[in-house]
Each structure stands twice: as structure tokens, then as C-alpha cells.
Chains A and B, each alone.
Chain A
Amino acid sequence: MTAYIVKRVFKLIPLLLAISVVIFIIIQLPPGDYLTTYIIQQQSSGLEVNQSSIINMTKRYGLDKPVYQQYFYWMKGIVTQLDFGHSLQWSLPVKQLLSERLPATILIALLTLCVTWGLSIPVGIYSATHQYSVGDYFVIFIGFIGLAVPGFLLAMCAVYFIFVHTGTSLTGLFSAQYVNAAWSWGKVLDMLPRLGLVVFIVGLSQTAGLIRQMRAMLLDELQKQYVITARAKGLEEKKLLWKYPIRMAVNPMISTIGWILPGLISGEMVVSIILSMPTMGPVVRRALIAQDMYLAGSFLLIVSTLTVVGTLISDILLAVVDPRIRFGGVSE
């Protein structure tokens, strides 16, 4: 098992390097070089351009060097001191912005992942074991709606209906009185419905997709010979279901954990922009419009790294639940 994990981890390193190169290229894409943009930005906001800070930055990020060397400077900063560069728009180190906003993004994404999983597996099982029942059709209907209604639209509608019916606007993670307050039970209670709303909206389309997948996989399994044999031998229906077909059907879902994460983060970004959540979504959008590329690129880099780690976790989990992989019988 340990050997398996070590092997997987080593496989990830070239992938991460490749991702960082792609993202660095994206950072370099907008026309104009960083320093000129920085100077123009400073002048237009009426600030005096500090010559020493320019020299500092040039030295730090190797801005007078060729592009491939700049990449090494950038990577060196990230690996040795977690220095992701400097945000033009905010005149702040990217690291500081990330540490303020990123935890909320990741919290929402992970929470949504849990809710998505917690819902889609039991509902998928119900749907498959009660095929063509009223409940099954209802689940299918909800699933189709979840797949067809874009997240941003759902967010807009939710905000509108809540506003019309209760008169409160559920945007932001806290209401005005709690934004700057210290943590207390009141603040947590204030946050819960807002957090729930985001998780619900972001999770709906993913849940819909996973339910469909779970239902289809389980239906496939239930038709197989071994189920009939087990039933013929008098195995209790409940035991039969949980012992074999469900374990088989859950496998492909576990193997996709890593791939669900980028979808959740994409969804979270769009929904957060509409609900003006204090997460990375609105910041990254503004950064991209202003072509503040160090900020946007760093976000992409971190999120992609998380995805890669997610695939690692799903590989390990898969090995834990599936003895065939654990003992090296099946490679893919």
C-alpha cells in the first residue's frame, strides 16, 4: 500500500510542473509587460512611482531577464517563501489576498462535495431500486432541471425570490451587523443560511450528474448474473444490495472525486460573483478584467494543485475500497 502511494505521489510531480508552466504562459499572455503596466497603474491612481520598489520588484521577479528565467524566479518564490507575486490592482502581495479569500472558497467547495456525495449516493440507490416509480421520475425530473439551469441563473432566481418573500437580501456571507464582528454563535447562525444557499446552488448540477451516474451504474449491476444467483440462494434483499452491487457502483464515483473538484470550484466562482461572497470568485473576475495576471494565475495554480491532490486522494481511496486495485490486479 505504501509503495503504491509513493509511486502515485512521484507521478504527480511532472504533472504539477507542467501545470505551472501552462499557467505561467497564461500570466504572460496579455499584451504589455508587467512593469510598464504597474507604472501606468500607479501614475493613473495618483501615486508617486517609487523607484526603489520598482528595482526591488525587477530583482525579485527577474523582470529584466528572458521569460523562461522569469518562470524560474516565479517558481522559486512560490516554492521557497510562498511568494505568489504582486497584485497590480490591490497593490498588495498576492499571498495576502489569497490568505484572506481562499479559505472560504475551499470551505465552500469541500462542503459542497460532502453534501453532493451525501445526497447523490442514497438518492441514486433509491432511484435505481425503485426504477420507474413516482419517486424515481421525480428524481429524474430534478436531475434534468439541475443539469439544464445554469448556476448563475439559479443564484439570481434564489436571490430574487428570497428578497421578494422575506425582504432580506442574502448576498455576502454575513449580514451587515456581523461582517466585522468577532466570531460568536450569532455570527455562525447568521452565516449558516447564506452558506447553505451557496452550497445548494453550486451542488445542484453536480448532484444531478452524480445521481444519474449512480443510478445508471447500479441498474447495470442489478441486472448481472451474480445478483440473480445471490437472490436465488435466498440472500436477504437488503444485505444483497449493500454487500455487492452498491460497492461496485460506488467505485467509479470515487475515482472521479478529483475531477469533481474543478467543477465545484468553477461553479462556486460564478455563484459567488452573483451572491458577492467574500471568496476568490469576485476577486479573480476583477483581476482578469483588469489583467492583473499574477493574482489570477496564482489562484489557477493553487486550485489546479488541489485538483491534482484530489485525484491522488481518490486513487488512494479507491485502493482502500477496491481489493482488486490494492493487490495490483487492475491497473486502470
Chain B
Amino acid sequence: MTVDPNVITNAGIGLEPPKPLLGKKRAQEDYEVADQWKLMWWKFRKHRMAMIALPVIAVMYLLTMCCEFFSPTLPLERFKSHKDCPPTAIHLFHEGSFVGPYVLEKESGLDPVTYRRTFVDSGEIIKLGFFVKGSPYKLWNLIPTNIHFFGPQELGGEFFLMGTDSLGRDVFTRALYGGRVSLSFALVSIFFTFMIGLTLGGLSGYMGGLVDGLVQRTIDVIMSIPSIPLWMALAAALPKEMSSYTQYLLMCIIMSLIGWTGLARVVRGKILSVREEEFVTAARLSGATHKRVIFKHMIPMFMSYIIVSITGSIPATILGETALSFLGLGLQAPTISWGTLLQDCQTIEAIAQQPWKMFPAAFIVITVLMFNFAGDGLRDAADPYK
């Protein structure tokens, strides 16, 4: 017996007429009992760009947080015969047949006219593979291994996805390691910003009076001084000799000492609007401490706004750090960040002759763009009852 798909479908619908109705009712019920965070997530899901941005951000963090594993070489590993080598394109087909991913080996030579180093394909094939054995490293400084996610099958094969820098180091590898610093920098300094902004903004709104005046005037002062010169001045005042960890932490603190003002304003405004609510008076009358009233009763009321405000300031922090490091006043040379990587292209000659050194910039632009999209989605979702 032949099965006619139309009949089946019709029969299916015919058999269960109440289904869509039931579904609708259930959706209505779901909506009514859903908590705030669930509603926010549903609203967020409708923002198409934000839904694209979320996985991209996740991939970016995964790649950079496990950069040892995902990078084909080590950040300080030098290929002495391949300085300023252009990116090697990945091929899949060789002479018409599929052979799997490979790159063509590049041979360096001198241009007879300009005496500039040039690279030509030597015709040799370097096969690539997944989970290959490469240079040994310690994952997160803990687990010693030599497995790399993707790279040349033979140890020491010259495979440069984004070319090499003037010392023969792989730009892609360094961009991943730099991303770890730049992206975690944003998170760490946002954490400090969050602590300062929440505490001072909360105190300012809750206590009012003298404290409020003091905090508000402090905010006025900080906001009147242009941020980049102020960052630069504070960064320049740091002692010159210190470990890269101390420097990283101090830079984070400097960023947050200047950046907390926006968040504090949001928190203060929100606290002022809920301070007079009855449940706050009730909590006070039942003997709750100030701290408890602020953190248990008031802050959960506007947590979503705080998250929106924070997501909004992540891209600004990333851009600030890279600009500062690029100018030589942020994180310094042994530390690899997207900003310090871009120091290689400060001259026109470098950009004109080795444009691939600009690749770290693409990472910055994509990350910032995606955070902006995600922030937009969050802002729309922050008020799910609208």
C-alpha cells in the first residue's frame, strides 16, 4: 500500500484539533508563571543579532581561554627563516583530487631589485591535521601536553594562518594569546567596576544627604576629566619595574577607578526609585540592617539593569585597553594583548608591506561588535513586561 503523505498530515490534524489551542493556552500559562529571568531570555531570543552575537562571543572566549590548545605554535616560538612571512592559504584539493587540508611551503628569497625579503611557494606540501603533536606546553599552566587542536602533522612544519611578525612568530597564535589577556582584562576590570559602582551608587542612593552629595560630586569630578588622558596619566605614574601580573591587576584597577561612575549613577537612580516602596519600609521595621535591605531587597529589583549597564561597558573597556597598550602606556611588551600586538603596525611601511599584522585588529572589531549586539539585545530584554 502506498502512503500518501498528504492524507497522513490531514489525518494528523484532523485527529488532534485541540492541539494548537492547548499549546496556546499552555504558552499563556507559561508566560504567566515564568519568572523575570525566563521572560528576559524569551525576549532576548527574539533579537536576531544578539542571538548571533552570543555564540560568537562564546567561541571567542573558548578560543582565547584555551589558547594553548587552539593555537598551532607557541607565542614566543620563532621561525627564523620565516620572518615577515605572509599567511599560508589552506588548500584541500591537490591536482584535482581531495587530499585533506594542506599548505604549500614558503621559501624565502631576496627580491633582486629592492633587496626586500620575499616568499615563494617551493612546491613542497605541508599536511595539516586535527589533534596533532606539536610544541609541548602546559594547559592553563597545569596540564603538560603537546597536543594542538589544529596544525601541521609534522613537528615544526611552517603553517601560518595569519602570517608571521618581524621576529618570525605566528600572528594567529599571538592573537589568541593576546585575546586571553584583552578579554579577561575586560572581565576583571568590569568586576572591580561593578564592586565600586554598586557600593558607592548604592550608598549614595540609600543614605542620601551628605554621603549622596559627596559621591555625586566625586562622580562629577571624574566625569569632567577626559578618560583617555586620565588613564594615561595614572598608568604613567605606575612604577616602571613590576611583574606583568601586578601591572595587569593595577591597570584593571585604574580602569575601574575611572569607569565606575556610569554604573553608580544607574544604581543610585534605581535605588532612589525603590527606596520609598513599602516592602523596604517593612524590611526596615522588621529590623533588617542597611546592608541586608540594600543587597537582599533592593538590588534584586534592578539587577537586570545593572547587567545591561555592565555589558554595555565591556566593549568600551576592551577598546580603552587596546588603545592604551597600543600607545605604549597600558600593558607593556612582554605581556601579549591585542593592543601590544598592534604596536607592530605603527608605521605606514609596516602596514603597507605586511598588512597581515593587522589581523589582531579584526579580533578586536568582531568582539566589540558582538558585545554591542548582545548589549542591545539585553537592553531590549531588560524590561520584559513592556
B233 at the interface (CB under 8 A from A): yes
Give Cα A304 to B220, complex, Å. 11
B76 at the interface (CB under 8 A from A): no
Among B226, B232, B351, B355, the residue within 8 A (CB) of A304 is: B226
Judge whether A160 and B229 touch: CB under 8 Å.
no
Judge whether B348 and A160 touch: CB under 8 Å.
yes
Judge whether B223 and A285 touch: CB under 8 Å.
no
Judge whether B326 and A289 touch: CB under 8 Å.
no
Judge whether B351 and A156 touch: CB under 8 Å.
yes
Give Cα A273 to B223, complex, Å. 23
B167 at the interface (CB under 8 A from A): no
B323 at the interface (CB under 8 A from A): yes
Give Cα A307 to B327, complex, Å. 24
Write out, one digit per residue, whether chain B residues 309-331 have a CB within 8 A of any chain A CB (1) or not (0). 00000010001001100111100
Q: How many residues of A contact B (CB 8 A)?
A: 52
Give Cα A19 to B225, complex, Å. 8
Judge whether B328 and A291 touch: CB under 8 Å.
no
Give Cα A163 to B350, complex, Å. 12
Among B226, B239, B364, B373, the residue within 8 A (CB) of A266 is: B226
Chain B contacts for A307, CB-based, 8 A: 224-226
Chain A contacts for B226, CB-based, 8 A: 261-263, 265-266, 269, 300, 303-304, 307
Measured between C-beta atoms, what is the minimum distance from A44 to chain B in Å? 16
How many A-B pairs with Cβ below 8 Å? 131
Task: Name the residue of chain A whose CB is nearest to the CB of B220.
Answer: A15
Chain A contacts for B220, CB-based, 8 A: 15
Interface residues in A124-170 (C-beta closer than 8 Å to B): 144-145, 147-153, 156-157, 159-160, 163-164, 169
Q: How large is the interface on B (under 10, 10 to 19, 20 to 34, 35 or more residues)?
A: 35 or more
B217 at the interface (CB under 8 A from A): yes
Interface residues in A24-72 (C-beta closer than 8 Å to B): 26, 29-31
Chain B contacts for A160, CB-based, 8 A: 348, 351-352, 355
Chain B contacts for A18, CB-based, 8 A: 217, 221
Among B323, B342, B348, B355, the residue within 8 A (CB) of A151 is: B323
A316 at the interface (CB under 8 A from B): no
A23 at the interface (CB under 8 A from B): yes
B288 at the interface (CB under 8 A from A): no
A278 at the interface (CB under 8 A from B): no
A22 at the interface (CB under 8 A from B): yes
Chain B contacts for A23, CB-based, 8 A: 225
Q: A153-B364, A288-B236 are in contact. Are A269 and B225 (CB under 8 A)?
A: no
Chain B contacts for A149, CB-based, 8 A: 365, 368
Measured between C-beta atoms, what is the minimum distance from A43 to chain B in Å? 20
Give Cα A15 to B232, complex, Å. 22
Judge whether A303 and B229 touch: CB under 8 Å.
yes
A296 at the interface (CB under 8 A from B): yes
Task: Name the residue of chain A whose CB is nearest to the CB of B235.
Answer: A288
Interface residues in B265-314 (C-beta closer than 8 Å to A): none
Judge whether A262 and B345 touch: CB under 8 Å.
no
Judge whether A304 and B345 touch: CB under 8 Å.
no
Interface residues in A208-263 (C-beta closer than 8 Å to B): 259, 261-263
Judge whether B327 and A273 touch: CB under 8 Å.
yes
* Beyond A30-B236, A291-B237, 11 additional pairs, beta carbon < 8 A: A148-B365, A156-B346, A160-B351, A266-B226, A288-B233, A289-B328, A293-B233, A296-B232, A296-B236, A300-B226, A303-B226
Interface residues of B (CB under 8 A from A): 217, 220-221, 223-230, 232-237, 239, 315, 319, 322-323, 326-329, 342, 345-346, 348, 351-352, 355, 358, 361, 364-365, 368-369, 372-373
A–B Cβ pairs within 8 angstroms, 7 of them: A150-B323, A152-B342, A157-B358, A159-B351, A296-B236, A299-B229, A304-B226
Interface residues of A (CB under 8 A from B): 14-15, 18-19, 22-23, 26, 29-31, 144-145, 147-153, 156-157, 159-160, 163-164, 169, 259, 261-263, 265-267, 269-270, 273-274, 284-285, 288-289, 291, 293, 296-297, 299-300, 303-304, 307-308, 311
